[in-house]
Structure 1
Amino acid sequence: MSLKDDDEGPWGHGDNNSWTRKPRQRNDESLDIEDLFKKSQDKFKKLLPKDGKGGGRTLWYIAGGIFFLWLLTGIYTVQQDEQAAILRFGKWVRTTDPGINYHLPTPIETAQIRNVTAINILTNTNANQPNTGNLSGEGALMLTGDENIADVQYAVNWRIKNLGDFLFNVKSPDSTIRAAADSIVRSVIAQTPIAQILSEGRSKINIQLREMLQKLLDDYKLGVEISQVELLKVTPPTTQVTDAYLDVQRAKADLETKRNNAEFYRNSIVPVARGQAKKIIQDAEAYKAKVMADIDGETSRFLLVLDQYSKAPDVTQKRLYLDAMQTILESAQKLIMEGGQGTLPYLPLPELKFKSAKPEEAAQ
């Protein structure tokens, strides 16, 4: 490479030109890099035999060193409160305990290490932060066994019991625990009166919740142990929900009042109606008995008259005529006139008809 004199710049000027200093520094740096690269090549060539023999052995040494370093990637340490799940090509094959352990080098086998003694806290006060334990948010509105509404806040303490089951049996263990806990708490609260929840019965409810939740998660083979389920806070709901609930309660009270009024009306009407029906039946039975008695009397009288008529027809016939006329004339308007009058008598028929109608109305 040809270079110009030190006192002449790349543009043919002297040192006083301001453009001559930076290009000279850049050329110096390029020379330093080239020299360093050449020295590295020379040192590497010295490692190889000059006669060309033994070069393959050196390459084997290098490959062996790389292979040894690759084998060292299988060494891993598990702390005292941890366990490691070993995956072979992504499939879980075993779980290892604390200590220095070894698995097949990466990527054949990999280790997922988790803390299995730490207690995780899940609450229903903040769905986005299940492990914070923050109680400032609202809980969940639940219906109690006596049809009251309560705002329930609870916490679930759990830890990993079987790391393999925890990692690979369920896609989202945290969400599964939350959903199962909410279902169990709602089920138990729905069967328990609110007075028992607010009193000393809460401790028994906590034990029942833990046992039921543990059984459910064991059925899922989730690999967790529930150490505690606690009802943190049980309070009446907000004003809006309370008003709606009171409206429902008032509607139920109105329904019960109307039902009681209907029962009272029924109890007052049905006995009277039954009494009236019984009286009508009794009157009908009495009328039936009376009619039957009259019929029997008339029949006996007719048979007696028939017997007398067979013995003395003329006398009996006259007697029947007189009796019939007596019955007719007793209820009729009578007008008695003397015979032998030469003038035509005046008979006030409308007045007689009006007078005869009054006794009939009075009789009715």
Structure 2
Amino acid sequence: MSVKRIMAGLGLITTAILLIIILFTSWYTVDESEQALVMTFGEANETITESGLNFKMPWPIQQVEVLSKETFSLQFGYEQEDGEIQSFPEETKMITGDENIVLADLVVQWKIVDAKKYLFHAEDPEEVLYDTTAASIRSIIGSSEIDDALTSGKAEIELEVRDLLSSLMEKYDIGISIQAVQLQDVELPNEEVRQAFTAVTDARETMNTKENQANKYRNQLINEAEGEKDAIESRAEGEKTARIEQARGDVAIFDKLYAEYQTNPDITRQRLIIETLEEVLPNAEVYIMNDDGGTLKYLPLNPLERSQPAPTEEAESEEGQ
């Protein structure tokens, strides 16, 4: 075999190897949950966020770093693997604003939002995130009271840690976005102190329960008083309306009497006198004297005399004789 044939064979093999390299290194795939950073001779120049099959220059001209777009979880103060939890109390021990010691661990949800900054602005961005998380939680706990850290103030502490951590990540500019911060456990360092604090917490809850009951009873009394006041006002309005209507009726009657009085003053005057006597003396019998000294019975008539005929003037004169 001649040297030329050997060289020709080596050239074919080399060409085939180069073609294979070009074929397998010129295409890459990005899933929906991924993002890719294309680098030309080690320099980042393009970020691919759309899923699909993409073309690039073959290696070693261009390389691709594929990163996830999903949310990651950073566990601070503990580690969970295969359902087993391992705590790191030395990392979670911190001092509150009122100089008490607590153990606090938490979970940070974060995402990669800039692949170029994530790969090139920090040597180990996850370590930077971990250290920044430790600094943030210690800063917020250090300005909070122990009661807030152990009871009702956890939500506010979570929010403040998230805001502080987000601002630090923006300052460090390493392509990480903080999605959420959740406290897992905030507790006292030993059992004796925990029991004492639990007793204080129970007493406070009892006090709050009593206060709520007292407020409920007070509100009930206030509502009853308001209802009674409304009822009194309603009765007063009804009585006011009734008296107004009665007064209007009295005025109407008076107007009619006055009209009659203007027409027949004497008769109306006598009628008013008689009606007044009947009202003042309801059981009395009223008699009217005529001009010749005789009497004429006026209303009300005696029920026993209603069935008898009325005496004539002749009978009355005979009785007089």
TM-score, normalisation: structure 1? 0.46
Listed one character per residue, the Cα deviations across residues 284-341 of structure 1 (whole Å, up to 9, x for unaligned) are xxxxxxxxxxxxxxxxxxxxxxxxxxxxxxxxxxxxxxxxxxxxxxxxxxxxxxxxxx
Q: Which amino acid aligns with 2:131?
A: A
- Find out whether 1:204 has 2:164 as its counterpart: no
What residue in structure 2 maps to residue 143 of structure 1?
95
Corresponding residue of 2:110:
158
Q: Do 1:121 and 1:130's aligned partners in 2 also have CA atoms closer than 8 Å?
A: no
Higher relative contact order (CA 8 A, sep 6+): 2
Of 50, 60, 63, the match for 1:110: 63
Which of 20, 26, 34 is matched with 1:69 structurally? 20
Residue 231 of structure 1 pairs with residue 183 of structure 2: yes
Are 1:99 and 2:22 an aligned pair?
Answer: no
Q: Secondary structure at the match of 1:105?
A: coil
CA deviations on 1:268-298 (whole Å, 9 max, x unpaired) are xxxxxxxxxxxxxxxxxxxxxxxxxxxxxxx
| Whole-Å separation in 2 of the counterparts to 1:120 and 1:130 | 13
In structure 1, what is the Cα distance between the partners aligned to 2:109 and 2:83? 12
Cα distance change, pair 109–102 in 1 and its aligned pair in 2 (3 A): same
User: Matched residues in 1 for 2:151 and 2:13: separation?
Assistant: 76
Letter of the structure 2 residue corresponding to residue 104 of structure 1: M
1:277 corresponding residue in structure 2: none
Moved over 4 A (4+): 56-67, 129-133
Residues 142, 60 of structure 1: CA spacing in aligned structure 2 closer, same or farther, 3 A cutoff? closer
Deviation at 1:107?
A: 1.1
Separation of aligned partners in 1, 2:153 and 2:18: 66
2:172 matches 1:220: yes
Whole-angstrom distance in 2 between the partners of 1:224 and 1:132: 28
Q: 1:131 to 1:205 in 2, by over 3 A?
A: farther
State the partner residue of 1:171: 123
Rounded to whole Å, the distance in 2 between the matches of 1:100 and 1:200 is: 51
Q: Deviations over 1:153-198 (max 9, x none)?
A: 1111112111111111111111100100100111110111011112
Aligned residues: 189
Q: How much has 1:67 moved relative to structure 2?
A: 4.6
Distance of aligned partners of 1:228 and 1:59 in 2 relative to their CA distance in 1, 3 Å threshold: same
Stretches of structure 2 that go unaligned for 5 or more consecutive residues are 194-321
Runs of at least 5 residues in structure 1 that lack an aligned partner in the other structure: 1-40, 46-51, 243-364
Which protein is richer in strand relative to its size?
2
The CA distance in 2 between the partners of 1:211 and 1:130, in whole Å, is: 29
Measure the CA separation in 2 of the matches of 1:96 and 1:179.
Answer: 30
Instruction: Give 1:1-364 correspondences, 5 Å limit.
Output: 66-72=17-23, 73-97=25-49, 98-126=51-79, 134=85, 136-138=87-89, 140-238=92-190
Offset of residue 228 of structure 1: 1.1
- In structure 2, the residue matched to 1:301 is none
Distance (whole Å) between structure 2 residues aligned to residue 229 and residue 235 of structure 1: 18
Structure label with greater radius of gyration: 1
Aligned residue in 2 for 1:286:
none
Amino acid at match of 2:107: A
**1:120 maps to amino acid:** S
**Deviation sequence 1:21-67 (CA, Å, 0-9, x none):** xxxxxxxxxxxxxxxxxxxx9xxx9xxxxxx9xxx999998776555
| Cα 1:151/1:123, change in 2 over 3 Å | same
Q: Cα 1:133–1:186, aligned 2, differ >3 Å: closer, same or farther?
A: farther
Q: Cα–Cα, structure 1 residues 131 and 81, in superposed 2: closer, same or farther, change >3 Å? A: farther
Counterpart for residue 48 of structure 1: none
Q: CA, structure 1 residues 156+197, in 2 after alignment: closer, same or farther (shift >3 Å)?
A: same
Identity %: 27
1:124 and 1:130 in contact (8 A); partners too? no
Distance 1:130 1:216 in 2: 29
Cα distance per residue 1:194-241 (max 9 Å; x no partner)? 11112222111111111110110111111111111112111111379x
Conserved 8 A contact 1:88-1:109: yes
Structure 2: how far apart are the matches of 1:226 and 1:134? 24
**Alpha-carbon separation, structure 1, partners of 2:74 and 2:122:** 19
Secondary structure of the 1:134 match is strand
Task: State the shift of 1:68 in Å.
Answer: 3.7
> What letter matches 2:21 in structure 1?
W
Q: Distance in 1 between matches of 2:149 and 2:162?
A: 16
1:121 Cα offset (Å) = 2.9
Q: TM-score, normalised by structure 2?
A: 0.52
